[in-house]
Amino acid sequence: MIAERIEKLEHGLANFEKIKRFTLLPKSFTIEAGELTNTLKLRRAIIARRYAVLLRPKHPLHADVAHHAAPRQAFPAMRLRRSA
């Protein structure tokens, strides 16, 4: 349903401008939860740790991101770095 809407809105965009994969998260990000800065920028490291299970790859060909259907917050998939 959401993927269909995204495809419809992306009609006419170049391939590099389109959303390739996304993950739906169970809640919106908040400053209070530490997921946003006071200027509303994403704290990607915190989000990556907190939602690692949801962002984990489901398919071996897409090892960098996951596509998980959960209600509410749409969040563009991000590449997770492994700490050395």
Question: For the purposes of burial, counting CB atoms within 10 Å of the CB of 30, is it exposed (0-12), middle (13-18) or buried (19 or more)?
Answer: exposed
Task: Kindly give the confidence (pLDDT) of every residue in the chain, 84 residues in length, as a single tens digit, with 9 standing for 90 and above.
Answer: 888 999 999 999 999 999 988 888 888 999 999 999 999 999 999 999 998 888 877 655 444 444 444 445 555 555 555 554
> Has this prediction a pTM greater than 0.85?
no
The rounded radius of gyration (Å) of the Cα atoms in the chain is 14
